[in-house]
Structure 1
Amino acid sequence: MINMYNDLNKLEGTFRQLEQFKALETAIEAVKEDESAVALFSNFRKMQMTLQEKQATGEDLNEDELQYAQKTAQLAQQNEKINAMLIAEMALSSVIEEITNVLVKPVQALYDGIPEAE
């Protein structure tokens, strides 16, 4: 019997050694060491969660919420340490997307033989 979890655990170890992972780890540590960056990022994250919750429930955002969200995002992106962290996160997200594509590839191939309706 195949135990894919052994392979996944090995992949996790490899993943942690990636340059992109280490860059994100370093960037997060830099944010953690700066109290103002931590506070700013915490506000940014709370705002993101609130927006996601409202979108998930179909609630509209009022003008004040939109302005607050934009201002919070701008402040976070203007912080050098947070911005570096967000850039590192995007680079790692690209790797995760590649991994996901590889994992989904055999499932997608199963559907490839189904003809499209005319």
Structure 2
Amino acid sequence: MVNIFDNVNAAARDLVETPQYKNLAEALKAVREDEKTNEVFTRFQSAQIAINDAMQAGEEPDEAQIAAWQTVAQEIEEYDAIEKLMESEQAMNQLLMEINNTLTKPIADLYQD
């Protein structure tokens, strides 16, 4: 019998060796090393989480939440390190989507006919 988690754990170990992971780690380190950049990024994440939480609860984000997010979203444009981090996150998300598509292909194939 196959223990699928052995393979998944091996893939997780391989993931940290990909250029996407390494670029993400470097970009995050650069953001964290600069106090002001890290503070702005932390505020951006908090604003984003507040909006996501409201939406997941089936509610519309209130005007204050949207205004806070918009303000910090404009502010992050001034920080190259945050822009690079966001680009690295997008590349990592693309890789994870490709991995997910590969992993779930047998299920999708079940429904093809």
- TM-score normalised by structure 2 residue count: 0.92
Q: Residue in 2 aligned with 1:116?
A: none
Matches within 5 A, 1:1-118: 1-113=1-113
Over residues 84-115 of structure 1, what are the superposed CA-to-partner deviations in whole Å (9 max), with x where a residue is unaligned? 111001011100000000011100111113xx
Structure 1 segments unaligned to the other structure (5+ residues):
114-118
Which stretch shifts more, 26-35 or 74-83?
Answer: 74-83
The one-letter amino acid paired with 2:41 is: F
Aligned length: 113
Shift of 1:61: 2.9
CA RMSD, Structure 1 to Structure 2 (Å): 1.3
User: Do the aligned residues in 1 keep the contact of 2:76 with 2:82 (CA within 8 Å)?
Assistant: yes
Q: How far apart, CA to CA, are the structure 1 residues paired with 2:7 and 2:99? A: 13
Q: How far apart, CA to CA, are the structure 2 residues paired with 1:44 and 1:87? A: 15
Over residues 67-87 of structure 1, what are the superposed CA-to-partner deviations in whole Å (9 max), with x where a residue is unaligned? 221111121233111111110
Shift of 1:46: 0.6
Q: How far apart, CA to CA, are the structure 2 residues paired with 1:87 and 1:77? A: 12
Over residues 26-53 of structure 1, what are the superposed CA-to-partner deviations in whole Å (9 max), with x where a residue is unaligned? 0011111000011111100110110011
Q: How far apart, CA to CA, are the structure 2 residues paired with 1:47 and 1:37? A: 16
| Bigger Rg, structure 1 or 2 | 1
Structure 2 segments unaligned to the other structure (5+ residues):
none
- TM-score normalised by structure 1 residue count: 0.88
User: Do the aligned residues in 1 keep the contact of 2:50 with 2:65 (CA within 8 Å)?
Assistant: no
